[in-house]
Amino acid sequence: MTSQYRVNYHLRAHKRDNLIEFIKGMLLTPFVLHSQQAPAQLPDGTRENNNNADNDSRSSPEEEANAERYAGIFSNIESLIDEHRELTQHNIPSYSRLARLVPSIGTFFTALPLEQAFRHINERNKISARKYVPPSFNDIRRILNIAQVMAIAEELQLVTFDGDMTLYADGQNFEPDSNLTGLLIGLLQRRISVAIVTAAGYGADAARYEQRLAGLLRGFAAAGLSAAEVGRFYVLGGECNFLFRCRADYRLEFLDDSQYTSSALRSWTDAQVQQLLDVAEAELTDCVQRMGVRARILRKPRAVGLVPSDSLTREQLDECALSSQIALLKFQGSPKSQPCDVPIPFCAFNGGGDCWVDIGNKLIGVRILQELVASPPAATLHVGDQFLSTGNDISTRAACCTCWIVNPDETRDMLTELEAILDQKQEHSG
């Protein structure tokens, strides 16, 4: 008989990240067995067994011991990742212990200093001091982000960013006063290429993208960036379909396919694209009808979307995304494949307030940029907020290193950490 746990697990599979869930489970044991309850309040206002009478901010022995337990677990997971990377190099990744524990695990393009990253974050957030809230999904996500930044900083050549909820609020524009402007300028001045890889598809209309990114482009002009520096800034719209590069006058220039990409990356014909979009449009129309939602279906040259008249729940948007994914996989004869492993790759995703199906995906987009600037996977970092199976950033994990953020503030924090590491490297080399 199927247990309720198994039913719930499979129903929530699209909301889970298996590596993070595995790490969270490992950290739960020391939390349950060793976390100490707070001393009881006595009638006279004191606490029993309160050995830290001066109530200073120093870590207690219990907290330090718990931090060492957590650090030990992260060190062991580092070893599992190192073994997985070694076996991947020998083309037998499925033989690794990590692959047996987390069968869906992918490729690690760099080592991850998880113990060092944990100690860095624990010093600030005091995860090991918590008595009632165990290490959470978000705690582990941030630790993985910092570990990735630490690992890739010295070799970094290309950073790609999602747009909405990564560089600016959902549906908004890059504001002139954004604190990300200086951080992005700093990357360009360090000879690191920067690209925004977005689902927003306006065809070859550079003005539409310039409108969304006006604050950033003005920042480039105010900083007086050279032609070489701004020439390292790209915008790739429609996931992978419309590429622009910044000119010396701080305007975006559309690049025709023939200028940058091999036919192997995007070999489909327009007739095939329209046929696939017909299937997606029919599926989204069916979702509108069976769920009784008020929405319009918007068709573009290489995308089709469901734009609701009233706000929809996350579950409704996930239903639209997953329904579209399955319909398109069946149509291409690969119902058990992934959207990037079919003859015409696509991306069906929950956009937060709408649902879209795009031809192509960010995996192709990142590879186009890697080919253009000659950046290998281990020197490429993608930053985005949509890494669940109904998101449009998850496919990039097959092409490069990634950081999973949830809002522009986390992007700022991540880039600040990166800047500090790069500054330290420059001091040592100087």
| Nearest-angstrom CA–CA distance, 124 and 325 | 41
In the chain, the amino acid numbered 145 is N
Annotated active-site residue in 17, 139, 162, 358: 162
DSSP SS3 for 113:
coil
| Nearest-angstrom CA–CA distance, 210 and 197 | 14
| Nearest-angstrom CA–CA distance, 11 and 201 | 32
8 A C-beta contact, residue 154 and residue 425: yes
| Nearest-angstrom CA–CA distance, 59 and 70 | 15
CB atoms within 10 A of CB 274: 14
| Nearest-angstrom CA–CA distance, 90 and 202 | 43
Q: How far is CA 311 from CA 236, 292, 307, 314, 358, in A?
A: 28, 13, 9, 9, 21
In the chain, the amino acid numbered 130 is R
- Decide: residue 304, CB within 10 A, 0-12 exposed, 13-18 middle, 19+ buried: buried
| Nearest-angstrom CA–CA distance, 163 and 178 | 13
Per the annotation, the verdict on 310 as an active-site residue is no
Annotated active-site residue in 17, 139, 164, 385: 164
Q: How far is CA 275 from CA 270, 271, 302, 331, 354, in A?
A: 9, 6, 11, 10, 22
Per the annotation, the verdict on 164 as an active-site residue is yes
8 A C-beta contact, residue 205 and residue 226: no
8 A C-beta contact, residue 288 and residue 306: yes
- Give per-residue burial for 385-412: e unless 16+ CB within 10 Å, then b: bbbbbbbbbbbbbbbbbbbbbeebebbb
Contacts of 102 (CB under 8 A, 6+ apart): 18, 19, 22
Q: What amino acid positions are annotated as catalytic residues?
A: 162, 164
